Structure 1
Amino acid sequence: MRPDDGVVHDGRNGHNGTTDPYHKNPTLERDPYMSEDTASEFSEKQAGVKRIEAVSKAWTKTSLIIAYVTLLLIANVTSLEIQVTGLLTPYATSAFQTHSLISTIYVVQGVVSAVIKPPMGKIADVFGRLESFCITIFFYTIGYIQQAASHNVQTFASAQIFWAAGFNGLQILQQIFVADTTDLLNRALFSTLFDVPFLWTTWAGPEVGSAILSGTSWRWGYAIWAIILPVCFIPLAVSLYMNQRRAKKMGLDVPSPFRGHTAVQVVKNLWFDMDVFGLLLLATAISLILLPLTLAPGASGGWKNPSMIAMLVIGAVCLLVFPGWEMSKKLAPKAFFPPNLFKNRTVVAGTLIAFFYFMAFYMSVFPYFFSYLQIVQGQSVVTAGYITRVFTFSSTVASIVVSLIIKYTAHYKYYVTFGAVIYLTGMGLMLAYRTENASTGTLVGTQIAIGIGGGFLNVPVQLGVQASASHQQVAAATTVWLTLLEVGGAVGSAISGAIWSTYIPSKLQQYLPPDQVADYASIYGSILVSADYTLYPPGSPGRSAINRAYQETMRYLLIGALCCATPIVPLTFCLKNYKLDEMDQKVTGRVIGNADNRETKKRGWRFWSRR
């Protein structure tokens, strides 16, 4: 067997008699040295995968640099946007007297984030990377516009659907693009490139957000990105389009899988290729199970409300039907959750780690820690923003460090275990120092610990999951991992919302002085009231009652976060300890890194290579 077995070659290798339509182009024929399994995998590759493999062969060094520079520019814009709008969300919801519904906003984001990654991964596989990027930027822009123009919390919440579709679609496409253009040794480092902007936006975001709140309004804080992002996307779109044309001129073009088909056949093919019904089942199940957790405490009748019960029952039924649908080769021949992926212990352990990692995060740092810092600790908007974003900064630094270590050691598993222990320790410290009189330095220290743990967890686990998949399934494996990550975040947000909306009102009524009990609804409904130290000055009975209510509720959230983080440590031992430089790189065309480890040992490191 040849060392580059399984790769689509440029040479004319002769027709083997198959009826595969891609043999109309001799440059895309199967290699005669392919094993039967590899040849079968090639024939099952979808058009988008074949197209990016063809485009990869047409990349020039300049065009690839332009693509990465543009993606890094987009990452700078989106990371600054996240920092700014993250500070604006409590004020947007407070403008509608619904501060407690922050968790519902994050649940909507989490649900959409979870269910949008599979179709975006599928669109990238079926149609191509350029088409997918265009769709995500469109959704992103619509989300910005709708958030800026919303006049009630329902409209603002529905805008999260478009925003989350754009944000998470862009996230998965960035990772897929890196998987297409790098080898395994360099993949972690280049995946981390898109986190580098957080090193400066972490500190710039609170200042920009505060300036927007004081100078204009929270609406403008959303509207400006609808102009900036599409402009920044233009160079990437041009680069991908020009390389598709270059590939076509080189004879590497992949014909549309729908050419020569009727509209009915196209719809049928899309139905199966994108696993539409399976994704609808997943979206329905997650939405109808999680949303009642945040909505029921404030609904008429609470959990006895028929609407809440109906949502839970229908959601549970969809969740039970979903695995059966995905495992049926007849109903879901191109299942988003390929059954063979879940026979791999690294994929299973990696997705569970992602689930618990984000679940714990959304019960501790987000969504209410920022509000807690302003209400209980009396921090300003800027200072509270800085403290909550210490996690982002420290996790980014840690991810860069671990990516470099992986590049030069070719191991990843040890760092995952290390990160899990630090992450769990950080959660414990956050619980221990959540008291009202905790110093700012102590609060920052807990976020540094959690951030270091998160940085050592995130990148290596994703790399291990990707290393377990074939090139056809790299997009699927990546999206499965990211989907479970977001589901964990949605579950954490839902539980946070349930705890917050259950305990804050009752504790406010319990602790507020008799003459202020009637004000509990306005205190609970707006951070502008609960964090107003002039209306409720330090030492006053009202301020003591407010701080006690929020502090005790935050303690419940952190206990839950600690419990969620605990399973991560034993799960790390289930990961396979791959030696990355000895594995099939599963990429074709021009890639960043080494094409063949044996050749590398003879000639030394090369930055550019072709497979």
Structure 2
Amino acid sequence: MEHKTTTDDLLDVSKTPSNGVTDGSDVAPDRERPVSDGSGETQEGVKRIEAISMVWSKWGLIAAYFGIFLMAFTTSLEGQVTYSVVAFATSSFSSHSLIATVYVIQGVVNAVIKPPMAKIADVFGRLEAFIICIFLYVLGYIQMAASGNVQTFAAAQIFYSAGSTGLQILQQVFIADTSNLENRALLSSIPDVPFLATVWIGPIIGAAFIATSSWRWAYGIWAIILPLVFLPLALTLFLNGRRAKRLAPPPEKHISEGGPLTAVKKVVANIWYSLDIGGILLLSASFSLILIPLTLTKTTPGGWQSPTIIALIVVGGVLLVAFPFWESSKKLAPHPLIPLELLKSRTFCAGCAIGFFYFLVFYLSVQPYFYSYLLVVQHQSVPAAGHITQTFSFTSTVTSIVVSLLIKYTRHYKYFVTSGSLIYLLGVGLMIRYRTEDTTTGSLVGTQIAVGIGGGMLNVPAQLGVQASASHQQVAAATAVFLTIVEIGGAVGAAISGAVWTQNIPSKLSEYLPADVASQAHTIFGDVTVASNYTLYPAGSPARIAINRSYQETMHTLLIIAISLCAPLVLISLLMRNYKLDAVKQGVKGKVIGGNVGENEKELVEKSQTGVM
């Protein structure tokens, strides 16, 4: 009789640490780890990556991780370059304030695309999912570069963000496929390592595009570069997938009776249920309808009283309430987008909540308007503003690498999550004190370093805790849900920022600008190049004082909201279980970094090593 895997089999956590002393903190007594996607079966894409893992060679894994790094470096550099030009892109359409709308659209797409992309990877395969992401990424680049108005530019974020966030989740899923828990935190930091260089060179390249060419080329050039750097990973996955098929051919699939029409209907139904298309539509529509209107109240007739704004938010709320009912129905969602079994895990829920508040605060304190604040109030150059803003990314990356090494040798992650939440809270508090018009550049950089250290101690360890609470079949879904909640936090933060910015800046400009400049308030609000023009509005002039005061007071309001929403992080971090990572077994099959191949798999691996690629 075939042995059926149980939750106890997957947990298998030793109650006795290596030193022989136990306090019970390493064990999840409620056996909280789920084992499937809710349907009780392993999906085809998971089986395929497990088969590929059986035949990995040392150099095959090295080549795959080189491909991951190469793609990460490219997308990281692209992000830094385009971040430096987005204010100028929206300003070219006289719509600088709609930066928040752009980021909300990105956040919504980033949020809703992760679970379906993880589903695609589980159903069809990792390589196929990567190819889809590259295609969407390139399509978004082309549309942004060719956009003739802000509506087209904003719409391009759908394709761009789908491809971008799809690559992000697939990189983390691939790392989870090929590493054990002790080494996963360190390997999960690989996509972040390029930030150590790109945060400095990206703004310089962005400034060069603005000065010598066009912001359009800052987007269009990546449509050429990204497909090229994807080739090493694609080739590695393709060759190893073919090798796995040759050594262990999959069972033949027979076309069902009933003719071509019946076969097509069955294929469509299989895709609908396997990917949970209904859940995808509900989730994406709900967040889009709730968050995007928040940034459009100032440009919509009637503002908050507009029937359109009210109707969109109400409908979005109804769809959001309907989503968990859809997901819990075995008939409507036999393969749920977000397996509800995950919600039984205290660690999973706490980790997701940490990700939510972490990114929510980030999009209130750093993104999306700190860069504009530096240009206007602090009179920083484009490269300098980019460098100051991206100090956060540099610091958080260095910190996450150091923390990942410490996790590898301590076998624990919770200490870093709690410590990071305290430092993050301190950093936001320092922003309130030192992000003022008369502050020094060193003080601005110092606050970025503080929040960067806190962020680096929060994000990777929290993701690791979430992954530790899931089986291998669920690790893609768990990672996707965590990153989805992170993006939702960012989208909510961007929506709040956009609402505060569009409500405060225009009214304050109208109040503070001298009578002879008051008619230019709309232009100043809509174009950052005008607002930051110290030749047109010299330092010390009534107009400059009015502009800077409007920006400064609005930034202070955003930071007050940020620190209020940062406080819950400390309490939530205490709810996560303190797993002893080397004692947690996830049922990952095949050859992984830091792990061993199971006895029942050695024969196939040995056979693969004698095969010809």
Range with greater deviation from structure 2 (326-335 or 564-573): 326-335
Q: Equivalences for 1:223-302 in 2 at 5 Å?
A: 223-253=220-250, 262-302=263-303
2:212 is matched with 215
Give distance in 1, aligned partners of 2:36 and 2:299: 57
Give distance in 2, aligned partners of 1:456 and 1:258: 52
2:500 is matched with 499
Deviation at 1:367, TM superposition (A): 0.1
Please tell me whether the aligned partners of residues 293 and 494 of structure 1 are also in contact (alpha carbons under 8 angstroms): yes
Residue type of the partner of 1:195? D
Give distance in 1, aligned partners of 2:223 and 2:338: 33
Deviation at 1:514, TM superposition (A): 1.0
Please tell me whether the aligned partners of residues 199 and 390 of structure 2 are also in contact (alpha carbons under 8 angstroms): yes
User: Compared with structure 1, are the counterparts of its residues 585 and 327 closer, same or farther at alpha carbon in structure 2 (3 Å cutoff)?
Assistant: closer
Please tell me whether the aligned partners of residues 81 and 206 of structure 2 are also in contact (alpha carbons under 8 angstroms): yes
Residue type of the partner of 2:191? F
Deviation at 1:336, TM superposition (A): 1.4
2:420 is matched with 419
1:147-176 CA distances to partner (integer Å, 9 max, x unpaired)? 000010000000000000000000000000
Deviation at 1:43, TM superposition (A): 5.9
Give distance in 2, aligned partners of 1:62 and 1:227: 28
Please tell me whether the aligned partners of residues 39 and 335 of structure 2 are also in contact (alpha carbons under 8 angstroms): no
Give distance in 1, aligned partners of 2:315 and 2:47: 39
User: Compared with structure 1, are the counterparts of its residues 282 and 359 closer, same or farther at alpha carbon in structure 2 (3 Å cutoff)?
Assistant: same
1:546 is matched with 547
Q: Equivalences for 1:461-540 in 2 at 5 Å?
A: 461-540=462-541
Give distance in 1, aligned partners of 2:440 and 2:394: 20
SS in structure 2 at match of 1:298: coil
2:195 is matched with 198
2:184 is matched with 187
Aligned residues with identical type, % of pairs: 58
User: Compared with structure 1, are the counterparts of its residues 259 and 424 closer, same or farther at alpha carbon in structure 2 (3 Å cutoff)?
Assistant: farther
2:605 is matched with none
Give distance in 2, aligned partners of 1:183 and 1:404: 14
Deviation at 1:259, TM superposition (A): 8.3
Deviation at 1:5, TM superposition (A): 7.7
User: Compared with structure 1, are the counterparts of its residues 479 and 256 closer, same or farther at alpha carbon in structure 2 (3 Å cutoff)?
Assistant: farther
Give distance in 2, aligned partners of 1:594 and 1:129: 21
Give distance in 2, aligned partners of 1:514 and 1:419: 48
Deviation at 1:256, TM superposition (A): 6.7
1:28 is matched with none
Deviation at 1:320, TM superposition (A): 1.1
2:15 is matched with none
Q: Equivalences for 1:29-178 in 2 at 5 Å?
A: 44-178=41-175
Residue type of the partner of 1:238? L
Deviation at 1:432, TM superposition (A): 1.2
Give distance in 2, aligned partners of 1:95 and 1:193: 36
Q: Equivalences for 1:304-315 in 2 at 5 Å?
A: 304-315=305-316
Please tell me whether the aligned partners of residues 350 and 572 of structure 2 are also in contact (alpha carbons under 8 angstroms): yes
Provide TM-score, normalisation by structure 2: 0.90
1:18 is matched with none
Please tell me whether the aligned partners of residues 375 and 527 of structure 1 are also in contact (alpha carbons under 8 angstroms): yes
Residue type of the partner of 1:92? A
Residue type of the partner of 1:228? I
Residue type of the partner of 1:375? V
2:352 is matched with 351
Please tell me whether the aligned partners of residues 422 and 450 of structure 1 are also in contact (alpha carbons under 8 angstroms): yes
Residue type of the partner of 1:307? T
User: Compared with structure 1, are the counterparts of its residues 402 and 40 closer, same or farther at alpha carbon in structure 2 (3 Å cutoff)?
Assistant: closer
1:15 is matched with none
Please tell me whether the aligned partners of residues 50 and 254 of structure 1 are also in contact (alpha carbons under 8 angstroms): no
Please tell me whether the aligned partners of residues 76 and 195 of structure 2 are also in contact (alpha carbons under 8 angstroms): yes
Range with greater deviation from structure 2 (320-329 or 386-395): 320-329
Give distance in 2, aligned partners of 1:426 and 1:6: 44
1:22 is matched with none
Range with greater deviation from structure 2 (360-369 or 586-595): 586-595
User: Compared with structure 1, are the counterparts of its residues 391 and 310 closer, same or farther at alpha carbon in structure 2 (3 Å cutoff)?
Assistant: same
Deviation at 1:177, TM superposition (A): 0.1
Deviation at 1:253, TM superposition (A): 3.5
Q: Are 2:407 and 1:406 aligned?
A: yes
Give distance in 2, aligned partners of 1:62 and 1:40: 32
Q: May I ask how many residue pairs the two structures share in their alignment?
A: 569
Give distance in 1, aligned partners of 2:392 and 2:329: 42
Q: Are 2:575 and 1:574 aligned?
A: yes
SS in structure 2 at match of 1:362: helix
1:553-577 CA distances to partner (integer Å, 9 max, x unpaired)? 0011111111121111100000000
Residue type of the partner of 1:344? S
Please tell me whether the aligned partners of residues 51 and 254 of structure 1 are also in contact (alpha carbons under 8 angstroms): no
1:12 is matched with none
Give distance in 1, aligned partners of 2:37 and 2:71: 37
Deviation at 1:63, TM superposition (A): 1.4
Give distance in 2, aligned partners of 1:54 and 1:204: 40
SS in structure 2 at match of 1:267: helix
CA RMSD, aligned part only? 2.2
SS in structure 1 at match of 2:331: coil
Deviation at 1:40, TM superposition (A): 11
Deviation at 1:255, TM superposition (A): 5.8
Give distance in 2, aligned partners of 1:575 and 1:380: 43
User: Compared with structure 1, are the counterparts of its residues 41 and 296 closer, same or farther at alpha carbon in structure 2 (3 Å cutoff)?
Assistant: closer
1:173-192 CA distances to partner (integer Å, 9 max, x unpaired)? 00000000000001011110
Deviation at 1:304, TM superposition (A): 2.2
Please tell me whether the aligned partners of residues 286 and 316 of structure 2 are also in contact (alpha carbons under 8 angstroms): yes
User: Compared with structure 1, are the counterparts of its residues 472 and 258 closer, same or farther at alpha carbon in structure 2 (3 Å cutoff)?
Assistant: farther
Give distance in 1, aligned partners of 2:37 and 2:135: 36
2:328 is matched with 327
1:1-42 CA distances to partner (integer Å, 9 max, x unpaired)? xxx9889xxxxxxxxxxxxxxxxxxxxxxxxxxxxx979999
- Structure 2 segments unaligned to the other structure (5+ residues): 8-33, 599-608
1:27 is matched with none
User: Compared with structure 1, are the counterparts of its residues 439 and 39 closer, same or farther at alpha carbon in structure 2 (3 Å cutoff)?
Assistant: closer
Give distance in 1, aligned partners of 2:420 and 2:303: 40
Give distance in 2, aligned partners of 1:40 and 1:315: 26
Give distance in 1, aligned partners of 2:52 and 2:552: 55
1 or 2 for the larger relative contact order (CA 8 Å, sep ≥6)? 2
Range with greater deviation from structure 2 (271-280 or 121-130): 271-280
